[in-house]
Chain A
């Protein structure tokens, strides 16, 4: 199939075009169209997975087309083991998200059009290999997100929407400076593959106001990505946006959008600025630790279930950063411990995927109870286990997966991260295991308060979770369970790509000492 990646990206826009011609009172037809389009996209993503050659660590299914020759801008797409899981995740969660938002009744046409546009933006970021194209997709996501939070969100939605917009825009404009600086220092190109080859050499030894150019560009890009992750102290937009956003948007936000930051660091910082990785790895590990502890402590203090889940994202993304930092284990000065590096980075990518499925489940479950009780106050329930047994079972699965119980996929990735990072960041790892404890504490405590104890009489008549909601949860729960017991297929898929990535980072290990 030709132009498979283009189809995956642009299909939602085609769907938007179709929806534009449907009269606005035919809301069920609009929903069905959106579901159909996302369904086809998911099938294409599955097909892509099946024809993807996992033994090849390089980019596959490349597409290339002239775009704006006067600025050397080209339309380049490609997929590798790093982006494929993310593409699949987006397609899956995009599809599920349509059904999660099935109850939307206000301005249905606008909602689903923006939802599909968001999908295109995210897919584009994962598949673009031209830096200009990457940036365009990166920013295309912002406006739909603003509207989706601002128009269909909770009581503080306007504030949450503008805060999200300002934070992410601030990050991405810094990225724009870095992109242009790379363009002009590396022989006028936006082609990421060329930049990966040229940037380490072109920037080597270059000084800007007495600072190494590599460090400057690294920091500019890092802030842009860190806001998206979000890394402490740039995380303050996240709880607000999550709490105010409608359920499906929280699901997309936690499930996929947060991964864009980590993906960007791995795809861009790691490959174009390998020297910077060695300079920054320590800080990355410490920031990861802060995320883990800070996120867990904040989650522990929450009374609002959705806020708790939001802070659990901060907590979980911290592990990813820690795992990423472990890449330096493979360098000569750290004893060429390739296995650790593989475990760390592999664990980080796996954790991204797992957090995608688990946090999506958590947010869907929060949405389920909010739809029925119209509040999310943890203390306001009690004994729900007797009133909603099936719902309780699903929450138990999601919470246990979230706290990293063995048998669920989250355990595998977190274990990999700790194994990978231990040889290089011993203290950080030891302290961050404390995070696991807190992690278990906030989930179990919340579970206990909501589902056990004396039943709240008010909710005796509360309807049980319905079939549509179960169907949105089931695929995610199954993936979590399967990958928890048998993670091989996933790890095999990403292994070759990550080996190429680790090698290219480590190749510059010698130079790294010079800039430090």
Chain B
């Protein structure tokens, strides 16, 4: 579709662009103490964007001369990203650490990042892939370093920039090899060209695939490309840590699924041949091994943390590992599994980070010790936090179990070849119980029991806890509507 006609389908992104402009302009008219009101403009614009997405016809097609896909798959991720951005913005309004700064531009940067994430989840052209990744990365660098008088935040931002630049450089190199081999930037034309390549170009193909994997691996913080994660997550404002653990990861998975499915995927509909395009490398086994390493490293290091925020950072590496378990299968149910996991993960993980933010505001720290005795003093925090921790462990009847159930089902469905991976996955769930339940232990089992009761600081806090805790519980035993939505959303644009 040409550029002009495409605009009709581009309403959500256009509205989002408008929101960005409004947010930047609005910020100019607010005093420092009122600058948080920019959030209302951003949230309003994002609500309109959501309505625009919902009103769209989702017949799969491509926009802007085959560079952006318009399909149920991208629509799903756009809604997920919008929702998580909105929640994080609301969380930012109650976060104490941001209150010391002028935060108008914080919200406009987040909106720009959302725009980048939209493109990331729908691009079908390697130029657009690179462009969208860069938009997201650069905005994340800003946000990670937003606490400019905090040295940890500065360190986070700098580390993020260095790692980010390095990995996008490697990825760009891989993409350029791919371009050299195929002579095109479009996913589908690449796929056709790859299927016609001779054996002599196999090495170059493997090289490019591995380099591109590095780029994606960095984005979803898979081991061994995860080294940036703990420091960046610890130093960033906690709201941004929460955001980085969800939205860019979701978009990263969307991009990864689409790219590997459509560029390196086999031409046939048959699932088992999906990886056949790259000969000479046991591709599914490689990803399975990365996934096993990711969750094991994430979990084992998380055990040793004394800081809850840092523990959650490592645990988010482990969760990326769980999601990666479904990648080697490349079946419909594995895509569904990843989508289901992302939805469930959104609620429970944002919930856990929100509790950390609130506890830090109230008690002045985010160490395990700061949680001592909260079960008596702040039951409205301790009960949801227990739920989030149990859900992150993956125990029924909580949302986390359903996510894991879908992932394990996808792994086991593919046959006995990957049973070992499922085995590693479940053992890791048991390991993760140890450090998640530690938070619960500090809240209920340790610390003096007191009759002191600290009231919640605002209604927004309770509201957010409800928005995050209720789905974390209810989706654990009633997920039919979500399952249906997901099975409608696996349709990707498959080329002209």
A158: chain B residues within 8 A (beta carbon): 441, 445-446
Q: B434 to A162, Cβ gap below 8 A?
A: yes
A51-87 interface with B by 8 A CB criterion: 67-71
Among B11-19, B41-49, B240-248, B389-397, the stretch that binds chain A is B389-397
- Known contacts A166-B430, A177-B412, A180-B412: A157-B445 contact under CB 8 Å: yes
Q: CA of A2 to CA of B264 in the docked complex: distance in angstroms?
A: 57
The answer to whether B444 touches A150 (Cβ under 8 A) is: yes
Given contacts A157-B445, A177-B423, contact A169 B483 (CB under 8 A): no
Residues from chain B with a CB closer than 8 A to the CB of A139 are 395-397, 401
For residue B428, which residue of chain A has the nearest CB? A173
Q: How far is it, in angstroms, between the C-alpha of A106 and the C-alpha of B423 when the chains are bound?
A: 41
Tell me how far the C-beta of B384 lies from the nearest C-beta in chain A, rounded to whole angstroms.
14
Closest to B416 in A: A208
Interface residues of A in 86-114 (CB under 8 A from B): 106-107
A166 CA to B449 CA, complexed, in Å: 26
Alpha-carbon distance between A107 and B449 when the two chains are bound, in angstroms: 9
Q: Are A68's CB and B483's CB within 8 A?
A: yes
B433 touches A166 (CB 8 A): yes
* Complex contacts, A70 vs chain B, CB 8 Å: 480, 483-484, 487
* Chain A nearest CB, measured from B445 CB (Å): 5
Looking across the interface, which residue of chain A has its beta carbon closest to that of B441?
A: A158
User: Chain A: which residue is nearest B414 at the CB level?
Assistant: A184
Given the complex, which residues of A lie within 8 Å of B477, measured CB to CB? 136
| Interchain CA distance A96-B416 in the complex, whole Å | 47
Closest to B386 in A: A143
B434–A147 contact, CB under 8 A?
no
Answer whether residue A481 sits at the interface, using C-beta atoms and an 8 A cutoff.
no
* Residue contact B444 to A151, C-beta cutoff 8 Å: yes
Interface assignment of A209: CB less than 8 Å from any CB of chain B:
yes
Complex interface residues of chain A between 119 and 148 (CB less than 8 A to chain B): 135-136, 139-140, 142-143, 146-147
Interface: A397 (CB within 8 A): no
Residues of B within 8 A of A150 (CB): 441, 444-445
Per-position binary interface string of chain A over residues 163-206, scored 1 when its CB falls under 8 Å from any chain B CB and 0 otherwise? 00110011001101100110110000000000000000000000
Asked if B429 contacts A169 (CB within 8 A), the reply is yes
Mask of A222-265 contacts with B, CB within 8 angstroms, 1/0? 00000000000000000000000000000000000000000000
Q: Are B409 and A173 in contact (CB under 8 A)?
A: no
Chain A residues lying within 8 Å of B446, measured Cβ to Cβ, are: 158
Contacts of A170 in B (CB 8 A): 427, 430
A177-B434 contact in complex given A68-B480, A70-B480, C-beta closer than 8 Å: no
CB-based nearest A residue for B410: A180
Contacts of A140 in B (CB 8 A): 396-397
The listed residue (B395, B409, B427) touching A143 by CB distance below 8 A is B395
> Which residues of A are found within 8 Å of B483, using beta-carbon distances?
68, 70-71
Chain A residue at minimal CB-CB distance from B336: A70
- Distance in Å from the Cβ of B430 to the closest Cβ of chain A? 5
Partner of A169, one of B422, B423, B433, B480: B433
The residues of B that contact A174 with a CB separation of less than 8 Å are 426
Chain B residues contacting A68 (CB-CB under 8 Å) are 478-480, 483
Cβ B430 vs Cβ A173 within 8 A = yes
List residues of chain A with CB within 8 A of the CB of B427.
Answer: 170, 173
Give chain B interface residues in 460-482, CB to chain A under 8 Å. Answer: 477-480
Chain B interface main SS type: helix
Q: Which of B412, B429, B444 contacts A173 (CB 8 A)?
A: B429
Bound-complex Cα distance A170 to B426 (A): 8
B426:A143 contact, CB within 8 angstroms:
no
Q: Nearest A residue to B487 by beta-carbon distance?
A: A70
The listed residue (B396, B422, B426, B433) touching A135 by CB distance below 8 A is B396
Q: Which single residue of chain B is at the shortest CB-CB distance from A135?
A: B396
Docked complex Cα distance between A243 and B59 (Å): 63
Q: Are B480 and A69 in contact (CB under 8 A)?
A: yes
**Chain A residue with Cβ nearest B395:** A139
Cα(A106)–Cα(B437), bound, Å: 22
* List of A residues within 8 angstroms of B203 by Cβ: none
B420 closest partner in A (C-beta): A209
Contact A142/B445 with A136-B477, A184-B412 known, Cβ cut-off 8 Å: no
Residues of B within 8 A of A208 (CB): 416, 419
A428 smallest CB distance to B (angstroms):
32
With a cutoff of 8 Å between Cβ atoms, the chain B residues found around residue A180 in the complex are 408-409, 412-413, 422
The answer on a CB contact under 8 Å between B413 and A184 is yes
Whether the pair A176, B416 counts as a contact (CB closer than 8 A) is no
Q: Within 8 Å CB of A181, what residues of B?
A: 412, 419
- Compute how far the CA of A135 lies from the CA of B478 in the bound complex, rounded to whole angstroms: 15
Shortest distance between the CB of B482 and any CB in chain A (Å): 10
Please, how many angstroms separate the alpha-carbon atoms of A424 and B116 in the complex?
71
For B387, the closest partner residue in chain A by CB is A143
**A178 nearest in chain B by CB position:** B412
Q: How far is the CA of A180 from the CA of B333 in the complex (A)?
A: 14
14 inter-chain pairs at a CB distance below 8 angstroms, sorted by A residue, are A70-B484, A71-B483, A135-B396, A143-B390, A150-B441, A151-B445, A157-B445, A169-B429, A177-B422, A177-B426, A180-B409, A181-B412, A183-B412, A213-B416
Partner-A contacts on B (CB < 8 A): 390, 395-397, 401, 405, 408-409, 412-413, 416, 419, 422-423, 426-427, 429-430, 433-434, 437, 440-441, 444-446, 449, 477-480, 483-484, 487
Q: A139-B395, A143-B395 are in contact. List 11 more A-B contacts (CB 8 A).
A: A70-B483, A136-B477, A150-B445, A151-B444, A169-B429, A170-B427, A170-B430, A177-B422, A177-B423, A184-B409, A184-B412
Nearest 9 pairs between A and B by C-beta?
A173-B426, A208-B416, A70-B483, A180-B412, A136-B396, A170-B430, A139-B396, A150-B445, A169-B430
